[in-house]
Structure formats: C-alpha cells, structure tokens
Amino acid sequence: MTLAPSCTLRARWLDALLPQVPFDGWTEAAAKAAGEAAGLDAGEQALAAPNGVADLVEAFFDAAEAETAEQLAEANLEALGVREKVAFGVKAWLEALAPHREAARKASTRGFLPWVAGDAMQRTWSVADTIWTGIGDTSEDYNKYSKRGLLAATLPLIFLRWLDETDEAVLDSYISDRLTGAMRFGQSAGKLARPMLDMIERMKRR
C-alpha cells in the first residue's frame, strides 16, 4: 500500500525526532530541529504535522498500534484462553513501544494535562479495540463496548507499571492480575446490566 505524502514525511520526521525525545522531550523546539535535520522545509512540516508535536506523538503511538495489529495477525493463538490472548495483545503493544520507552514515558505525561486528556482516552480505547479485534473478537453491542472499555481502563495501569518494571516475570504477573480483575468485574457488571438491556431490546421490538 502506497502511503500518502503526508504520512511519508511524518514518518521521516518522527525517525529524526525519536532519538532526541529522551533528552529534549516532545517539545516544539525539538520537533523543529528534528524536522530540519530530516530535510523537511516549512511547507513539508505543515503538511506532515499541521498540529505540530501533538501529531508526532499520535504518529508514534499509531506506529506501535499498527505493529501490534501485525503481530496479532501473524500469531497462532488458538491454544490460548481469552485472558491469555488479551495478555498476549497487551504485551505485543508494550513490545512495540519498548525500543523507545523513554519517548513513551515523556509522551504519557502529556496525557495527564487537561487539554490533552481526551486524546489519551481515545488512544487507550483505540489500543483496546486493536487488541480485542486482533485476537478475533467479533462481539457487538454491549459486549463489544464493555470488553474494550474494561481493557481501556486497565491499560494505563499496566503501561505505568511497564515504564519502570525490568523483571519480565513480575510484569507478566501484574498484567495477568489486572486482566483477571477486569474480567471478573465485567462478568459481574454484565449480569447486572443484562436484564435492563434485554428489556430495552424488547421495547424496541414493540
């Protein structure tokens, strides 16, 4: 598939910026210097990332999400249970981010600022959807949104633990515990919500 010129330019810009982010952060000054180092003139920079650093941060996470989807598409997960499949997807996402862990750390701090909190929420939902879709989930309506919502709520906790956890076994255990808790909550919430949802569905048919 041929990428749009803006995507190609943005990828080139991001490649130049990522090595500097651990030192300079996701700043407009760092982005400008990286854009110049990548050989992008002002017009090309405007085309590649009209919103500046915000677009480059999004491109960084988009790339990790795309890599996660590719890894899930290639993996044979038939022997795994649902929780293990989800855990595999979560770890695939973290592995995609791992080469630029410090860039991920600095990007995460932007999500705690009020004016970008919405972007952070959309990102976690998108990652959750990529994982559930990648492991073959085809549920609709309440089940679809509850699964993704619970995983989206769990991902920030896992992400923050991953940033500083060097022991893979400890991280795996933490991921497993968080997912088990989320799924138990989802089962309980589903039992409570199902009668109401069934009633609403019956009313729609009248």
Q: Check residue 4 and give its pLDDT.
A: 73
Q: Do 116 and 158 have their domain in common?
A: yes
Q: Do 65 and 121 have their domain in common?
A: yes
| Across 2-11, 148-157, 191-200, least confident range | 191-200
* pLDDT tens readout for residues 101-138: 999 999 988 776 766 777 888 899 999 999 999 999 99
Q: Check residue 192 and give its pLDDT.
A: 41
Q: Do 70 and 156 have their domain in common?
A: yes
Q: Check residue 196 and give its pLDDT.
A: 40
Full domain range(s) for residue 38: 1-50
The CA distance from 102 to 57, in Å, is: 13
Confidence (pTM): 0.87
Q: Do 11 and 86 have their domain in common?
A: no
The CA distance from 44 to 9, in Å, is: 7
Total number of domains constituting the chain: 2
Q: Do 58 and 140 have their domain in common?
A: yes
Q: Check residue 193 and give its pLDDT.
A: 42
Q: Do 118 and 80 have their domain in common?
A: yes
Q: Do 137 and 37 have their domain in common?
A: no
The CA distance from 150 to 9, in Å, is: 35
Question: Is the pLDDT at 10 greater than 90, yes or no?
Answer: yes
Report the percent of the chain where pLDDT is more than 70: 86
Mean pLDDT rounded to a whole number for the chain: 87
Q: Check residue 200 and give its pLDDT.
A: 37
Question: Is the pLDDT at 199 greater than 50, yes or no?
Answer: no
The CA distance from 194 to 27, in Å, is: 47
Q: Do 201 and 112 have their domain in common?
A: yes
Do residues 108 and 163 touch, judged by C-beta distance below 8 A?
yes
Q: Do 145 and 95 have their domain in common?
A: yes
Q: Check residue 119 and give its pLDDT.
A: 82
DSSP calls for 47-79 = HH-TTTHHHHHHHHHHHHHHHHHHHHHH---TT
Q: Do 79 and 143 have their domain in common?
A: yes
Comparing 186 with 16, the larger pLDDT belongs to 16
* pLDDT tens readout for residues 134-143: 999 998 877 8
The CA distance from 69 to 93, in Å, is: 9
Comparing 98 with 1, the larger pLDDT belongs to 98
Q: Do 85 and 37 have their domain in common?
A: no
Q: Do 27 and 127 have their domain in common?
A: no
CATH of the domain at 87: 1.10.357.10
What percent of the residues of the chain are helix, what percent strand, and what percent coil, each to the nearest 5? 80, 0, 20
* pLDDT tens readout for residues 58-105: 999 999 999 999 999 999 999 999 999 999 999 999 999 999 999 999
Do residues 104 and 97 touch, judged by C-beta distance below 8 A?
yes
Do residues 96 and 67 touch, judged by C-beta distance below 8 A?
yes
